[in-house]
Chains A and B, each alone.
Chain A
Amino acid sequence: MGQGTDAKEGVNLVYHRFSAFHRFNHYLVMLSFFGLVMTGIPLKFRDSIWAQMIMDLVGGVAAAGFLHRVMAVVNILYFILEFSYMAWYVVARKGPIFHEDSIVPTKKDWADMKGMFRWFAGKGEKPKLSRFTYWEKFDFWALFAGTFLIGGSGLMMWFPEATTRILPGVSLNVALVLHSNEAFLATGVIFIFVHFFSAHGRPESFPADEVIFSGYLPVEHYIHERPQEYENRLKAGTLHEVVRPAPSPRRRRMFKWVTAAITFFAFLAASYTVLLVVWPLIF
């Protein structure tokens, strides 16, 4: 939420958390996810009047099918980009894998989770979280696995004739069940109940965490949110690598508007999806 620091006090520093590459990938994920859900989920809940509404809005089932495939290509693109980045990180950059800076789950995540539950129960302090928290890692790997499964089964159904040249026709039944159920899981659970709330809905970042759109957050926000990483960097003397002067006010304003627009759209999309899913259960 906070936009850098108060210029009056003279200090104007931000913590640089996400590179342009990662932000670009998140934009791609958002774009393809909303596109895919909007054109895909009305088929699953076609009895809801809202399904017909969104189909008419998009321009009919044929147009929705075309859009779904375009967004699937975007989906595959970001998957390849992310996969290439991980390969580059491991092979070329030789970055640490089982480390707090990496997205791979470690023992500390297990300890953090237990610590958080203790804190929920009022039996201890809040654990000091590091660069990636355990719920962020869950978000990432759930999406990673989900993309692989949904993308694979989607490609099978996109080219059914080619698929059945290799596999029996019943494989398309499996693909359909998997695609539909995993997509619903991703939509309803990861994005509405978990991702939107755990990444954007926490009081530090409510209603949307700008850091994924702009790449930076105010340093005091950072210290409050990721005390462990801050301490580690302070000890290792690498704080200067991530702390930078704040961008120009114009740029900060721009990101504020970008975040506001995306938040509004995400809220709309989430409400629509909930409505679509809940409607047939009630009426």
Chain B
Amino acid sequence: MGFFRGDVMDRHCAGRDRSTAGLARHGRRRQIVLVFGLALLLVLAVASPAVARDVEGCLICHGDPDFVDPTPNAGEPTSLYVDSEMFGESVHAQQPCSACHRGFVLTIPQHQVDVDKDFRQVAIEACEACHPDAFMSYQTSAHAKVYYQDDAGPICISCHGSHAIRRVRLGEESAEFKMEMAKDSCGRCHQDKFDRARDEFHIKALNLGYERAATCFDCHGYHENLALHSGEPETVEACRECHPGANEGFTYFQMHLEPHFMNAWWGVRAVYLFFSTLLIVVLVVGIAYTTVHLQKETRILLGVFGGGLGRLFGFIRVLEEESRGNGKSNNPLRAERADQDDSDVKDETEGGE
């Protein structure tokens, strides 16, 4: 810490009692050492190579790709393999297995103490233990309602996965990550909504690498899964995350419309139909007209398809002559020359027919 003991420091303490100043400096130095030490530890912890900690030795058996349930209930044996490398890269790599797999004992063959307990209930409880806030948000969501009522809704691991949960900083996710989460987590069940959202500005921009563009959970919430109907206060709040001036009228923008705007307001469909028709009409008429016009002036199609390459080179020669202005008078004020130009054109036309 040499550089902290510089002249500036000495001059600063010059007026005080030497020993007191020395003591204070000593204490401060210890503080600094402590802070830097902790920071170093943190950096090391974050930057350390991804290795699963596995203090209990579960991966001795479960790290084997061929490890299957030796007592299959029916049909195909269930794989009990956990990819240790994948788990090592996950955010939970430093956690012992039993941190989540609670109520398990190290007796073989039966790990689970309460055999009849539903594995999904175990999973939810495991997450809740460390993430109570997220769990509370989830409790209010439509996902939870379906889970508790019909015993079929998604739980934490349905969206987050289990052994490969990645380390992200909220608000700093990359565009690829947000896109992947929207596709794999939300789109797995809400395929239709995801497909429609892909045609909208937000996800289009995200798809092209704009990480600030909103994806599913930026509006609908990570765990709340708000329905977000037009005109509702929570929808206004959701829009205001990025559009601070949004009001109630703003929320009447129609999202997740079907292809060709089939379920949109009739005005949107009318404009869409009008411009689609206009596009096709102008395209067809434009291409047809341009082809006929250019063909008449250059006879280039005849040159390519009729007379072969010789005619095509003839066309190029005509262009060159045209550009040089050959065969024409340089005096514009002589009208008879212009007349002759016209008759030249006529001759050409008749010759071509």
Check A103 for interface membership: any CB of B closer than 8 A. Answer: no
The interface size of chain B toward A, counting residues with CB under 8 Å, comes to 64
Residue of chain A at shortest CB distance from B200 = A176
Q: Is there a chain A Cβ closer than 8 Å to B330's Cβ? A: yes
A203 touches B297 (CB 8 A): yes
Contact call B208/A52, Cβ cutoff below 8 A: yes
Which stretch of B22-30, B139-147, B240-248 is in the interface?
A: B240-248
Query: Does A95 touch B at the CB level, under 8 Å?
Result: no
Residues of B225-282 whose CB lies within 8 A of A:
230, 243-247, 249-254, 257, 261, 264-265, 267-268, 271-272, 275-276, 278-279, 282
A1 at the interface (CB under 8 A from B): yes
Q: Are A170 and B268 in contact (CB under 8 A)?
A: yes
Contact partners of B335 in chain A: CB under 8 A: 234
Give every chain B residue within 8 A of A168 (Cβ-Cβ). 249, 252
State A281–B83 Cα separation when bound (angstroms): 41
Which of chain A's residues have a CB closer than 8 A to the CB of B323? 1-2
Q: Is A204 in contact with B322, judged by CB distance below 8 angstroms?
A: yes
B332 touches A219 (CB 8 A): yes
Query: In the complex, A126 Cα to B252 Cα: how many Å?
Result: 56
Q: Which of A56, A185, A204, A223 makes the CB contact (< 8 A) with B282?
A: A185
Q: Among residues 2 to 16 in chain A, which have CB atoms less than 8 Å away from a CB atom of chain B?
A: 2, 5-6, 9, 11, 13, 15
The answer for the CA separation of A96 and B213 in the assembled complex, in Å, is: 52
Given known contacts A161-B247, A189-B286, A230-B338, A55 and B293 CB-to-CB distance under 8 angstroms: no
10 contacts between A and B (CB under 8 A): A2-B325, A6-B325, A165-B249, A169-B249, A176-B201, A190-B286, A198-B290, A202-B294, A203-B297, A206-B319
Shortest beta-carbon contacts, A-B, top 4: A169-B252, A161-B245, A61-B210, A219-B332
Q: Give the B-binding residues of A (Cβ under 8 A).
A: 1-2, 5-6, 9, 11, 13, 15, 42-43, 46, 51-52, 55-56, 60-62, 116, 119-120, 122, 125-126, 160-162, 164-165, 167-170, 172-174, 176-178, 181-182, 184-185, 188-190, 193-194, 197-198, 201-204, 206, 218-224, 227, 230, 234, 239, 243
